[in-house]
């Protein structure tokens, strides 16, 4: 049974903060048509928990009034409320929602800058380009991470050089990783040195991202480095390297991929089987036939498919 709105209005005005908080939670399930109008004042409640629930309840509303109010919640004195507002704003779908957020991209508080960048990323508005580009040198790693994300979504050719520099030299590993992934939108060979450097990064997640990006771009010039990556200490890197080598049908990788068919990590054996099938060289047949007895059913299945591909290629 829906909750009557008069009762809710009384609870929303209760002197007890917990009563107000629960009323805000109940409000979206009431029979009131103007839920939004009742929620907006709750964003100014003296209690942070009430404000938090009001922010959460406003998710999905994209009218200018609500977006403007939620954007101001990025300035809230409670970090929990700030973060919740950032998450809600990050779900915005319409580019028309961006204007209240643009001024916050250069706010004095790094938390606000980072959350605002996060919110505009998927909106892909051109107004975010210049602020995001400027934030690549921000002292805060969190801001730089979000700035790189914005530039990756915008896919502007003129940002490629800056992103390549960040991918190679930013002091924060996560910033480097995001920048490496962001380079996946370009086919410019000029990014290859940065991606090759990333394949040897001290942080394994950066190496993994580099292998994936090189495979996505089909940069055969990196084949030798990818083959070396097949010996990486982290299996996640080896998996992405195997996938990239298969996508590029890299024949020089055949010995490394055959060796990977006996790796202890089943995910790598699967990727190696797929890659060997894509390359289609007969020399892979013995390893693939042996894998038909693998204890992982997916490895067996993928090995059969690879053998079929090789047979068809040479028939």
Domain ranges of the chain: 255-315
CB count, 10 Å around CB of 9?
14
Rounded distance between C-alpha atoms, residue 40 and residue 70, angstroms: 9
Tokens of 94: 């319409």
Q: Taking the alpha carbons of 213, 250, 202, 165 in that order, is the dihedral positive or negative?
A: negative
Q: Span 255-315: which CATH code? A: 1.25.10.10
pTM: 0.89
Q: Tell me what pLDDT residue 1 has.
A: 45
The dihedrals phi and psi of 186, each to the nearest 5 degrees, come to -115, 155
Q: Tell me what pLDDT residue 50 has.
A: 98
Rounded distance between C-alpha atoms, residue 36 and residue 196, angstroms: 51
Q: Tell me what pLDDT residue 269 has.
A: 98
Q: Tell me what pLDDT residue 6 has.
A: 54
Length of the chain: 315
Q: What is the pLDDT along the chain (315 residues), one digit of tens a residue?
A: 454 445 788 899 999 999 999 999 999 888 767 899 999 999 999 999 999 999 999 999 999 999 999 999 999 999 999 999 999 999 999 999 999 999 999 999 999 999 999 999 999 999 999 999 999 999 999 999 999 999 999 999 999 999 999 999 999 999 999 999 999 999 899 999 999 999 999 999 999 999 999 999 999 999 999 999 999 999 999 999 999 999 999 999 999 999 999 999 999 999 999 999 999 999 999 999 999 999 999 999 999 999 999 999 998
Chain centroid to CA 225: 25
* Residue for token pair 């982290």: 234
298 to 17, 304, 305: CA distances (angstroms)? 55, 10, 11
Angle between helix 110-121 and helix 141-154 axes, rounded to 10 deg: 20
């Amino acid at each position: 049974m829906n909750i009557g709105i008069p009762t809710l209005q009384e609870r929303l005005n209760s002197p007890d903060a917990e009563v107000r908080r629960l009323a805000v939670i109940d409000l979206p399930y009431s029979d009131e048509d103007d839920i939004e109008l009742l929620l907006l004042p709750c964003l100014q409640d003296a209690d942070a928990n009430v404000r938090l629930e009001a922010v959460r309840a406003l998710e999905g509303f994209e009218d200018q009034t609500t977006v403007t109010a939620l954007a101001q919640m990025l300035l809230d004195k409670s970090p929990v409320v700030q973060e919740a507002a950032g998450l809600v704003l990050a779900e915005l779908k319409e580019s028309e929602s961006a204007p209240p957020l643009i001024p916050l991209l250069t706010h004095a508080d790094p938390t606000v800058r980072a959350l605002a960048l996060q919110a505009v990323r998927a909106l892909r508005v051109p107004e975010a380009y210049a602020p995001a580009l400027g934030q690549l040198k921000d002292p805060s790693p969190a801001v730089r991470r979000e700035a790189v994300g914005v530039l990756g979504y915008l896919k502007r050719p003129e940002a490629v050089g800056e992103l390549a520099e960040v991918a190679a030299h930013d002091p924060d590993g996560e910033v480097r990783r995001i920048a490496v992934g962001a380079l996946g939108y370009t086919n410019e060979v000029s990014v290859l040195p940065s991606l090759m450097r990333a394949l040897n990064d001290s942080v394994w997640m950066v190496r993994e991202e580099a292998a994936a990006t090189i495979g996505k771009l089909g940069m055969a010039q990196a084949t030798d480095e990818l083959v070396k990556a097949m010996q990486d200490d982290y299996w996640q890197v080896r998996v992405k390297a195997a996938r990239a080598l298969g996508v590029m049908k890299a024949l020089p990788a055949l010995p490394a991929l055959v060796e990977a068919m006996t790796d202890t990590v089943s995910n790598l054996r699967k990727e190696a089987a797929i890659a060997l099938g894509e390359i289609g060289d007969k020399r892979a047949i013995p390893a693939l036939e042996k894998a038909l007895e693998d204890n992982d059913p997916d490895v067996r299945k993928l090995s059969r498919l690879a053998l079929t591909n090789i047979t068809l290629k040479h028939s």
